[in-house]
Structure 1
Amino acid sequence: MTTTLITGANKGLGKETARALVAAGHTVWLGARDIDRGQAAADELGARFVQLDVTQDASVAAALATIAESGTGLDVLVNNAGIAKRGEGMSEALDGPSVREVYDTNVVGIVRVTEAALPLLARSDNPVVVNVSSALGSFWATHEPTRPASHFVSLVYGSSKAAVSMLTVQYANAHPEVKFNAVEPGITATELGGGDPGSHPGRPAAESAKIVAKLAMIGPDGPTGTFQEDAGELGW
C-alpha cells in the first residue's frame, strides 16, 4: 500500500488530487490548516486527516510525527499548499507583508514539509515528491508567445513558483534516492487568491488533478528533476 501526504488538501486541486489517489488505492493523509474543513474533506474522500499549517514549524513537525506514529509510513509527498494575495481590483498585493506571506507558504513551506518528511520517505522503497508549480514560474513559458503565461503578469506568485521549480531541481540533485518533480497543473478554477471558482475561466480542479496524481504514482523507473504538464515535459 502506498501512503501519500498532500498539503493544502481540504479543497480545490489538493482535494481532487486526494480523491484521485484514494481511488487509485493510496492511503492518503489529507493535510489542512482548518481542522473542521480538513476532517470533513477526509471523511468525504475516505482519507486520513492531519492538521498541517506549512507556515508553522511546530505544526509541520507535529503532523509528520502523527504520520510516523500511525505506522502507515510515507511514500509520496505532494507539496500542494499555495496562496496568492490580492489587493484592490484583484491585482497582486505588492506590500512587504503580503509578499512575505506568499513566499512563506509557497516556498519556505515546501522546505519545511520536505525536510520533515525526508526521514520517513527514506524508509520507502519508492519515495516520491511532487511540487505543484506553475507555468507562471517557467522562464521558458513566460518568454514563449504561444503560452498564456507570457501574457499574464504575476510578480509575486510567478516568482514564488520559479523558486518552487528551482527547489525541485536542487532537491533532486541533493537526494538522488528520491524522485522530485514539479508539476504545472494547468489553469484551474479554484479559490486561489480569493477568486470565485464558479466564475473562473480555468478548467475543473478534478481535471488538473490528473497530472498531479500521475506524477505521484510514478514507479521506481520514473523521472526526477523534471517539470511536467499534461503534454509532457515543460521547459524551465
Structure 2
Amino acid sequence: MYSLIIIDDEKELLEGLAHYFPWESIGFITVGAFSDAKSALAYCRDNPVDVVLTDIRMPFLSGLDLIKELRTHNPTPIFCVMSAYSDFEYAKQAIAFGVKEYLVKPLSFDDLRASFQKIHAHLDGTPVLLPSEYSHDETLPLISQTLAIIEKRLGTCSLQNIAGELNISASYLSRLFKKEVGQNFQEYLLKRKMDMAGKMLSGKVEYRNKEIARTLGYQDTQNFCRTFRRYFKTSPQQYRQENKT
C-alpha cells in the first residue's frame, strides 16, 4: 500500500474522498485528511508520504505553495491536483511543477480511479496500458471475464465493481461492452436477471417473489415485480401459472 494525504477546504468533498472512496482496492491508504495546506505541510515534515492529492485554491496557503514546499523534501511525494474549470490557467502552473495528474472538479469516480491507477503503476515502476492501446484480441478476454462475473454474481455485480476488478475504468468497460456484445451493460444485466427470474418462476421449486427478488439483488420486492411486469408484460404470478413445468 502507498500512503496518501488529501487536502481540500470543502468539508463534504474532503470527507467523501477520505472515507468513502475505495482507496485500498487500488493500492493506497489514506494517512491524513486536511482542510488546510498548512496542517498538511506540518504533517509531511514529520511523516513522509508517497502521494499528495490537493486542491489548488485554498486560504492562507494554496495548493501550489504546498507543492513548492514539498518539492524540497526527500523523498519527494507524487502530486495530484484538483481544481475547477475556471482555474485551468492556474492549474497549468502546478503541472509545470511536475504534478503527475490533474483532475477537474466536480470529480468523476472513474477519472479519479484511472488517475490513481496510473500513479500506482508509476510508483511500482511499471508501464501503464491505456485503453486505446488494447488490441481487439486483448479486449475479448475483458468481455469474457465480464460475462463470467455477471453469471457468477448476478445479484450483486455492477459496472463499477466489475471495472474495478478488471483494473479498467467503468466508462471504458461500458463502451467496450456495447461494441462487443451489441447491448449496453445495464440492458444485458436486466435481461440476465429477468431470464433467471423466469426460470425460477417456471421451475418445480415454488420460490416466493421475495426470494427471487433478493437473489437478483432487489431489496424491494415491489420494485422487482414492477420491473418484471415491464419486461414480460405480465405479473410474476401470471407468468408462473402460464409457464409452470
Scaled to the shorter chain, the TM-score interval is: 0.3 to 0.5
Larger radius of gyration: 2
Task: Considering Cα pairs closer than 8 Å and 6+ residues apart, tell me whether 1 or 2 has the greater RCO.
Answer: 1
Higher helix share: 2
